[in-house]
Structure 1
Amino acid sequence: MPRITAAGKTFECDQGANLRQVLLKNGVALHNGQSKIVNCKGIGTCGTCAVQIEGEVSEPQWRENARRSLPPHSLEKDRRLACQTCVLADVTITKFDGFWGQGDRMVW
């Protein structure tokens, strides 16, 4: 079972599990500020669950690439949408500041 390290916690999930669902299930505050209330609930349209991922995960699909190509996101930044990402092996997750997690300061 893959291990996820995020926000000072480490927990396991099934291989292929949706990253957003696993983080929320394990009490990780995935959204910054008011994006806890105003987000797409995992359909990949808002971009507020953007995180940096180290480790093996699924390849980005068209919906995620489309959202990450629009400001304030950028495909050049090493961010993924947790709601559109499946965990394939051990990963370490980093969240950055900004409503959409697009900032440069690490939150966790």
Structure 2
Amino acid sequence: MPTVRFRAREFDCAHGAVLRDVLLAGDETPHNGASGSLNCRGLGSCGTCAVSVSGPVSDSTRRERLRLRVPPHDPASGLRLACQTRVLGDVTVEKHAGFWGQHVDDEDDGVDGDDDGE
């Protein structure tokens, strides 16, 4: 039975379980802030459940690859959509800052720092 590690907690799950479902069942979320309410509910179309995952998981789905090509995501970031990722063994999951969870470097704190007056 695989174990998912997330925010200093551990959850056991069935082999092949959807990562988003595992986190939600454990009273955790793959979303930040308002994206917890404003998301596609696991359809793979919004991109707000993007996380870093290390460990054995399923290959990216076509839907996931297409969504991660659309800004603010970058396909080179290595992020996965929790709603499209199946757990195949013990994994460690990290959620990054920002509405989309796409901020993976230390220079960006997830706050809009534009000086465009908006």
Identify whether the pair has TM-score above 0.5, normalized to the shorter chain. Answer: yes
Identical amino acids, percent of aligned pairs:
48
Rounded Cα–Cα distance in structure 1 between residues aligned with 2:46 and 2:14: 26
Residues 69-84 of structure 1: matches in 2 within 5 Å?
69-84=69-84
**1:36-87 Cα distance to aligned partner (Å, 9 max, x none):** 1100000000000000000000000110000001100011001000000000
Residue identity matched to 1:73? H
Rounded Cα–Cα distance in structure 2 between residues aligned with 1:29 and 1:87: 16
- TM-score, structure 2 normalization: 0.87
Rounded Cα–Cα distance in structure 1 between residues aligned with 2:38 and 2:89: 30
Moved over 4 A (4+): none
Corresponding residue for residue 37 of structure 1? 37
1:91 Cα deviation after fit: 0.2
Rounded Cα–Cα distance in structure 2 between residues aligned with 1:90 and 1:30: 17
Residue 55 of structure 2 is aligned to residue 88 of structure 1: no
When the two chains are superposed, the root-mean-square deviation of aligned CA atoms in Å is 1.5
Q: Which structure 1 segments of 5+ residues have no match? A: none
- TM-score, structure 1 normalization: 0.94
**1:10-61 Cα distance to aligned partner (Å, 9 max, x none):** 1100000000000011011321111011000000000000000000000001
Q: Does the 8 A contact of 2:30 with 2:95 survive in 1?
A: yes
**Count, aligned residues:** 107
| Structure of larger gyration radius | 2
Residue 16 of structure 2 is aligned to residue 16 of structure 1: yes
Rounded Cα–Cα distance in structure 2 between residues aligned with 1:78 and 1:101: 12
Between structures 1 and 2, the one with greater strand share = 1
